[in-house]
Amino acid sequence: MGGNTQGAQQSAQADGKGNLSVTVGGVVFDRSKNGSGDGAGALTSTTSWTPPPCWYAPKYTPEQLQKYLEPIWEAGSTGYEWDAEQREKYNANDEKKAFNKHKSGEGYWWDSYVNESYPPGWDTCDDGPFWVDEGDAPPADIENAVTPEILAELAYSEIRVPGTEVTLAPAEATKVNLPTWAWLDGAEFKPVSVTASVPAIGIEATATAEPVSLKIEPGTADAELYPASGVCEINDGRIGEPYAKGKADQTPPCGVKYLRSSGDDTFPLQATVTWKIAWTGTGGAGGDLPDGEFGATQDVVVQEIQAINR
């Protein structure tokens, strides 16, 4: 019966400062410390790991589950045998103990929620509603029942990081065999975070993304990178170094030198920032999650150096 009891999954409210808390799938996400701006986007894991496609969290009080299930049974659309089994499972014929009403205020019926983008595996949380007493952990055999670690993984999927358009010098058009300096504004590349919580049971976790490096792919094989790996590490909160007058003969700590002109076209320079993800949660829990990447492509004009005829 799990997976078909979704109901309304999302609501939102803003505080006086404009910070947005969004409830999605039984989990409250605080996105007030997220990355923003037109170019902001979601991280992609650098490994095959992905956030949970579905999960279990508190969904019903005893009265709410009764209100949800009884009309289904009365409609008879699920068949007499199934309905009878369900009535027995939830002790529906005992007026005092039906749906654990004798435990009202002492726990919740948990049920499945689905990532609304329906990624692969979204339909694997197919256990029906199960009861968890207040203060108890969910059953160990229930995969993806919310714990601080599961909340951290869900928070990971809500992280948005700033865009990755690098500043280049020369800015308008670079020249063949002339080093082009590349850097990212350090102010935009500070850590961002999202907190996921389930207030009903008093647990939460915060996933924090911190930029660690920039990878440059020049868009053509006819280019040399600085450093040669094309990976520029973060240094003092900044990636790369701004060009300044008098540095024309220096090698940039982060950049590219194109060896041929782009002609009437452009080269698609790909800039990808790697973000390290760490999390902390209720009860002192914490650890690392797989690194994430976010990149963007920008067009670069490369011109021949014009010779002066005397």
Amino acid at 5: T
Query: CA 39, CA 161: separation in Å to the nearest integer?
Result: 8
Whether the pLDDT of residue 17 is over 70: the answer is no
- Looking at residue 122, what is its pLDDT? 95
Whether the pLDDT of residue 13 is over 50: the answer is no
Query: CA 269, CA 300: separation in Å to the nearest integer?
Result: 7
Terminal CA-CA length for the chain: 85
Stretch 274-285: mean pLDDT, rounded? 96
- Taking the CB of residue 274, how many other CB atoms lie within 10 A of it? 20
Whether the pLDDT of residue 158 is over 90: the answer is yes
Taking CA atoms, 107 is separated from 104, 132, 136, 141, 178, in Å, by 7, 6, 9, 19, 68
The token pair that represents 303 in the structure block: 């011109």
Whether the pLDDT of residue 191 is over 80: the answer is yes
CB 216 within 8 A of CB 270: yes
Query: CA 300, CA 267: separation in Å to the nearest integer?
Result: 5
Cβ-Cβ contacts under 8 Å for 229 (sequence gap 6 or more) = none
Stretch 234-263: mean pLDDT, rounded? 90
- pLDDT for 20-41, tens place per residue? 566 777 899 999 999 888 889 9
Phi, psi of 24 (to 5 degrees): -130, 120
CB 112 within 8 A of CB 55: yes
